[in-house]
Structure 1
Amino acid sequence: MEEDVEDEVPEIKAAHFEESMKFARRSVSDAAFVSTWHLLRLCSSLEVSGRSLGSLRLAVRLLVPVGRTLLLLLLVRLMMMIFITSFKARHSLS
């Protein structure tokens, strides 16, 4: 029979993610970082203006030389940014 052990961190919050990012190291080239930054800015402008995400084709073409792994990491990062932003908005955090 297993013993129930109380989880010290029952849910991951934005503060946990932000704390872990303090110690993160950049492991991509400058070119990959710039391409990613441009795509993030484009995504932000699309979200603000409400334009169709079909406009991301150009941004994805910018990332093709960088590789699919970076694109996947970018999408995960974008999802986390959206999650943190919506979490802060719902809980009135700044």
Structure 2
Amino acid sequence: MIVRIMGEGQVRLSDSRLTELDKLDDELLAEMENGDGPGFRRTLHALLTRVRELGEPLPDDSLEPSDLILPSPDATLEEVQALLSDDGLISGG
């Protein structure tokens, strides 16, 4: 699976890692629904950090289609809400 972090680039991530990432996605969704700004910020950074740790960065000149697009680390709660599906940022997990 190819994951794009907006403003950073893409990483190749094993599908087997989605379960772990989905837990953080569920936390993020709950914090957004509750208007928990500090919790949202903390969990967004944890999710992006985990994607970076688990994924293999693709070269900057690679233009692979992204299976999943995640917001940039400095995205606001409102910007992330605009990206959400009913399942959160990671659909189907």
Fold conserved between structures, TM > 0.5:
no
Normalised TM-score (structure 2):
0.39
Structure possessing the higher relative contact order (Cα contacts under 8 Å, 6 or more residues apart): 2
Identify the structure with the greater helix proportion: 1
